[in-house]
A = this chain, B = another copy of it.
Amino acid sequence: MAVHAANAVDKRRSLLHETRCQNCSLSSLCLPLALEVEDMEQFDAIIRRRAPLKKGESLFRQGNAFNSVYAVRSGSLKQITTEGSGDDQVTNFYLPSELVGLDGIDEQAYPGSVIALETTTVCEIPFDRLDSLSEILPELRGQLYRSMSKELRDDRRMMRLLSRKTADQRLASFFSSLSDRFRRRGYSPHSFRLSMSRADIGNYLGLAVETVSRILGRFQQQGLVEVSGREVNILNLEALVTQAQEEH
């Protein structure tokens, strides 16, 4: 009987192209990374898989009630916060294994819209259940604290970038950071495809699109990268990292 029920669940999951945390290639980067197998099953049980988002679709909109956080499974998304009329700001890009929505806990509403940059799948994690589970799984709780803490650190780095770095340094930072994030996820750190437009990049880095274009052109002339549309080849990561960290 219990077996039947379990099978039914499994069947539904496989129909939706879903797998379990235990089999997920991202489990070493994702929230349950510190969990033992039996604990991971408990965690897995609270997760809701969602149908893939198509490019341009939103996971949620700014102001929607906060119920869940989401772990990116594949694809990528951007977070956009709007203030007043038409003044959009890209505040984050999310890659696989990253957690989306943590900034909505406080006000019980999402402070920005999150939009898929390509076909993207996410795992939905209802926050009240995550919170309850974090009560009995100290490792999970610790991981949640660490995730939020890391996001705080990253934000501080971003503030430094926005307030003290030149346009060149910002782009160098952006590309070396992307390269690093891809590397950690097992992709090539040298060759990848940007899922976001130049406009998104510029908006995120506090630069005009034209500036992004011009500087990418210059980087290419300097032999740092090879860019063709959204295909990127990093030729000299070393130099890019140096460039990103240089004093004015």
- Chain A positions within 8 Å of B, measured between CB atoms, are 81, 83-87, 89, 91, 102-107, 111-112, 131, 134-135, 138, 141-142, 144-153, 155-156, 158-160, 162-164, 205-206, 245, 247
Contacts and interface: CB of A to CB of B under 8 A. Distances in A.
Contact of A153 (B103, B131, B156): B103
A245 B102 CA distance: 25
Contact of A245 (B84, B141, B144, B162): B84
B155 A159 contact: yes
A65 to B, nearest CB: 15
Contacts of A111: 153, 156
Contacts of A247: 84-87
A84 B169 CA distance: 14
Nearest to A112: B156
Identical chains bound together, number: 2
Nearest to A136: B135
27 contacts: A87-B164, A87-B247, A89-B159, A89-B160, A91-B160, A102-B148, A102-B152, A103-B152, A103-B156, A104-B149, A105-B146, A106-B153, A107-B150, A107-B153, A111-B153, A135-B138, A144-B145, A145-B148, A148-B148, A148-B149, A148-B152, A152-B152, A158-B159, A162-B162, A162-B206, A163-B205, A163-B206
A91 to B, nearest CB: 5
Contacts of A156: 81, 91, 103, 111-112, 155
A145 B135 CA distance: 13
B205 A149 contact: no
A137 to B, nearest CB: 10
A156 B105 CA distance: 14
Contact of A160 (B81, B145, B146): B81
A159 B159 contact: yes
Contact of A102 (B85, B131, B149): B149
Nearest to A79: B156
A151 B158 CA distance: 14
B106 A146 contact: yes
Contacts of A85: 247
A164 B156 CA distance: 17
A138 B130 CA distance: 12
